[in-house]
Amino acid sequence: MRGPAGASGGAAAQGGGAGPRGGSLLERKFQRLGLFGPADFIVHLPLRYEDETRIQAIAELVPGVPGQVEAEVMHSEVQLRPRRQLHAVVRDDTGQIALRWLHFYPSQQKQLAAGRRLRVRGELRHGFGGYEMVHPRLSAAGSPLPQALTPVYPTTDGLPQASLRKAIDQALAQADLSDTLPDALLRRYGLIPFADAIRVLHHPPAGASYQDLLEREHPAWLRIKFDELLAQQLSLAEARAARHKQRAPVLPARGGGLPRALRDSLPFALTAAQKRVVREIAADLARPFPMHRLLQGDVGSGKTIVAAFAAAQAIAAGSQVAIMAPTEILAEQHYHKLGAWLRPLGVETAWLAGSLGAKARKAALEAVAGGRAQLVVGTQALIQEKVDFHNLGLIVLDEQHRFGVGQRLELSRKGESVVAGRNLIPHQLNMSATPIPRTLAMTFFADLDVSIIDELPPGRKPVLTKLISDARREQVLGSVMAEVRKGRQAYWVCPLVEESEALQLQTAIDTHAMLVQALPDMRIGLVHGKLATAAKQEVMQAFRDGEIDLLVATTVIEVGVDVPNASLMIIEHAERFGLAQLHQLRGRVGRGAAESICVLMYQPPLSGVARQRLRAMYETGDGFEIAQRDLDLRGPGEFLGVRQSGQELLRFASLETDARIVEQAQEAVPIMRDQYPEHARAHLDRWMRNRKDYLRT
């Protein structure tokens, strides 16, 4: 699998073919940075540069910016107060500055003999007695200056820059720097050769623009960013091609049948957007390779019924369908709702959750294994090893962002069944209300087809969002009373207590008690994660049936819960919640025809980020806009919930600022794959060596 670049050298840069574990102490430190062989070292690129090419006058130094002067020592001494430290004052023709070391060696003291001329390098800052440098580096004045900017590499504890530089220089001499891009693409996108880019970044030539290098706008950086994004796109395209080679049960939509009966039985008509996505999914299910589709639609856009149509088609074609939700409350609601739609049409359903009694579980497992249960709804319990499916053809994951990558894999593995000697992989439909901003979708989910419901069912009115300080709790109680008097229902969400689940539970119980006392005429329920399943179900059912006016809840109701008559949402300590979470919570109201209100109670003073989050909630109800702002506030890694063991998803390119390069890389993918397959392989080899595992999922 070596391409033209032959980038898979096995030898570590520091001699000796070190394996992934072991080796000398130095090698182990390199390995911690993902540096195994020369090919890794050459793409370990500087974080920034230091300009040591010239000497500045003391008067030219800018506080906060590293600088370098040559100056004469006026005096130096070891001071004992406020703590032991080495102190010196140096001057040149333009001024003087103080130097300070809190840790120092006798040799440094000697170096600082009065009258000596020294080169001093460090960052100027404003100290107690005027401008000073803390822990500056010293060297002899007059020694030759470097000709180029000095690279500063990402490093790890106890690994000095000098060792990294040495190893990288060695690797530069050994590694194959030949290009993995054909000339045609270099010309097309105005890119410089790989070898040039790499050399420039490790050893910027005299006169290279410090600014361009720092801001990663230098042509060398542009080339590297292109390479990185191309590698990512290529590997995703490869994943897609591999998926197309897998086999899945063919589940065609035969005219009429179950889906039509479902449509005829609904009390509402599907929106145009729902019809479109139902068609997209129907076409996927009829293909002989597994569907891998994300159904995206804002909270309340009606994704569940779309899943029901997909299930109906699969069941009509003779397959089993599994629907998995991240919380028991939501799974139970789905069981309820899908059952109400499909059971009257003759579909057999089963329910599987962790809390099921032994007898009920046994019966459910038998129904699933024997194939009698056609639709199986549940929580993570569905992927437990005991569950055997008879012929699973479709998996639906609701609120898919709540599941870990491992859980998703587990579920699809579960469905692999051997039919006539061929492995059949079930189709998979992921549903999410958390919209993935376009650039993210392009970069990370290229092997996911995306269907979007961009329309809400008719008659919905936007939710009115109010920001109210904690101090005005009385006013909030008044709103609750007014809403309930109109025959409607309300949620009261208790504050998130990050430090302790027990504390959070206590808060919910206290809040419930407080509300019962403050609103004696109201029927008030309480639901939280520690409640037994039966009790939880009972409360939710009572709320659905309108027997509870006000539901006090923890975030267990965050996702999916659907009670259209509820029109008021109170969120206490809204400043503690994340933006996506607030949007989800707010989405529990505004599901019926009534005008709905969401009250975000907050406790001043607000931190800057909290203020921005609440402002976003106040300013927009559009999930897409919210997601974009969330991305801006949190950055892509956290946004996706994938913080890979310290290894960033993208090391050099940035999705925000390099959108144009993302587009070019995407455009280049088919060219590479069709016309230059050898180059494509070499390119992946160079850039994806240590990251294959991540991309497989």
Query: Using the rule CB under 6 A, is 234 a contact of ligand ADP?
Result: no
588-627 residues in contact with ligand ADP (CB under 6 A) are: 591
Minimum Å gap between C-beta 479 and ligand ADP is 24
Cα–Cα distance, 282 to 275 (Å, whole number): 10
Residue 465 β-bridge partners: 598
Both structure tokens of 213: 């290098």
526-565 residues in contact with ligand ADP (CB under 6 A) are: 562, 564
Q: Tell me whether residue 5 or residue 330 sits nearer to Mg ion (CB atom).
A: 330
Site string for ligand ADP, 250-269 (x = CB under 6 A): ------------------x-
Residue 133 β-bridge partners: 99, 124
Q: Tell me whether residue 278 or residue 653 sits nearer to ligand ADP (CB atom).
A: 278
**CA 276, 279, 285, 288 torsion: positive or negative?**
negative
Both structure tokens of 671: 């060219």
By CB under 6 A, name the one of 112, 253, 324, 433 that touches ligand ADP: 433
Q: Tell me which of Mg ion, ligand ADP, none is bound by residue 271, counting a contact when its beta carbon lies within the kind-specific cut-off of 5 to 8 angstroms.
A: ligand ADP
Cα–Cα distance, 186 to 196 (Å, whole number): 13
- Phi first, then psi: what are they for 677, rounded to 5°? -60, -35
Query: Using the rule CB under 5 A, is 302 a contact of Mg ion?
Result: no
Q: Tell me which of ligand ADP, Mg ion, none is bound by residue 555, counting a contact when its beta carbon lies within the kind-specific cut-off of 5 to 8 angstroms.
A: none
Which single residue is written with the structure tokens 């709905």? 596
Query: Using the rule CB under 6 A, is 179 a contact of ligand ADP?
Result: no
Query: Using the rule CB under 6 A, is 271 a contact of ligand ADP?
Result: yes
Per-residue b or e along 372-407, where b marks 16 or more CB atoms closer than 10 Å to that residue's CB = ebbbbbbbbbbbeeebebeebbbbbbbbbbbbeeeb
Minimum Å gap between C-beta 373 and ligand ADP is 22
By CB under 5 A, name the one of 122, 259, 560, 590 that touches Mg ion: 560
Q: Tell me whether residue 216 or residue 402 sits nearer to Mg ion (CB atom).
A: 402
- State the chain's maximal CA–CA distance in angstroms: 98
Residue sitting closest to Mg ion (CB): 560
Minimum Å gap between C-beta 399 and ligand ADP is 8
Query: Using the rule CB under 6 A, is 274 a contact of ligand ADP?
Result: yes
The SS3 assignment for 467 reads: strand
Minimum Å gap between C-beta 378 and ligand ADP is 17
Cα–Cα distance, 122 to 97 (Å, whole number): 12
End-to-end CA distance of the chain: 22
Q: Tell me whether residue 3 or residue 300 sits nearer to ligand ADP (CB atom).
A: 300
The answer to whether the CB of 571 falls within 8 A of the CB of 577 is yes
Which single residue is written with the structure tokens 């490790």? 202
Minimum Å gap between C-beta 351 and ligand ADP is 18
* DSSP-assigned letter for residue 651: S
Minimum Å gap between C-beta 302 and ligand ADP is 3
Minimum Å gap between C-beta 589 and ligand ADP is 11
Query: Using the rule CB under 6 A, is 299 a contact of ligand ADP?
Result: yes
Q: Tell me whether residue 332 or residue 562 sits nearer to ligand ADP (CB atom).
A: 562
- Residue of 266, 29, 38 lying closest to 163 (CA atoms): 29
Q: Tell me which of Mg ion, ligand ADP, none is bound by residue 591, counting a contact when its beta carbon lies within the kind-specific cut-off of 5 to 8 angstroms.
A: ligand ADP
Query: Using the rule CB under 6 A, is 332 a contact of ligand ADP?
Result: no
Query: Using the rule CB under 5 A, is 623 a contact of Mg ion?
Result: no
The answer to whether the CB of 186 falls within 8 A of the CB of 32 is no
Minimum Å gap between C-beta 300 and ligand ADP is 5
Query: Using the rule CB under 6 A, is 303 a contact of ligand ADP?
Result: yes
Query: Using the rule CB under 6 A, is 327 a contact of ligand ADP?
Result: no
Minimum Å gap between C-beta 463 and ligand ADP is 13
Q: Tell me whether residue 46 or residue 560 sits nearer to Mg ion (CB atom).
A: 560
Please report the DSSP string for 507-553 in residue order. Answer: HHHHHHHHHHHH-TTS-EEEE-TTS-HHHHHHHHHHHHTT--SEEEE
Which stretch in 174-182, 230-238, 302-310, 361-369 sits in contact with ligand ADP by CB under 6 A?
302-310
Query: Using the rule CB under 6 A, is 180 a contact of ligand ADP?
Result: no
Q: Tell me which of ligand ADP, Mg ion, none is bound by residue 412, counting a contact when its beta carbon lies within the kind-specific cut-off of 5 to 8 angstroms.
A: none
427-432: strand order across its sheet:
349-352, 375-378, 320-324, 392-397, 427-432, 292-297, 449-453
Size of the site for ligand ADP (CB under 6 A): 17
Residues 6+ apart with CB under 8 A from 143: 119
Residue sitting closest to ligand ADP (CB): 302
Query: Using the rule CB under 5 A, is 457 a contact of Mg ion?
Result: no
Minimum Å gap between C-beta 435 and Mg ion is 14
Q: Tell me whether residue 560 or residue 636 sits nearer to Mg ion (CB atom).
A: 560
Q: Tell me whether residue 42 or residue 305 sits nearer to ligand ADP (CB atom).
A: 305
Cα–Cα distance, 222 to 196 (Å, whole number): 12
Q: Tell me which of ligand ADP, Mg ion, none is bound by residue 402, counting a contact when its beta carbon lies within the kind-specific cut-off of 5 to 8 angstroms.
A: none
Both structure tokens of 431: 């549903």
- Residue of 400, 165, 321, 292 lying closest to 696 (CA atoms): 292
452-511 residues in contact with ligand ADP (CB under 6 A) are: 457
Residues 6+ apart with CB under 8 A from 674: none
Cα–Cα distance, 661 to 655 (Å, whole number): 9
Query: Using the rule CB under 6 A, is 297 a contact of ligand ADP?
Result: yes
Tell me how far CA of residue 146 lies from CA of 118, 143, 635, 653, 688, in angstroms.
Answer: 16, 10, 37, 29, 34
- Residue of 4, 198, 154, 134 lying closest to 680 (CA atoms): 4
The contact set with ligand ADP (CB under 6 A) reads 268, 270-271, 274, 297, 299-305, 433, 457, 562, 564, 591
The contact set with Mg ion (CB under 5 A) reads 560
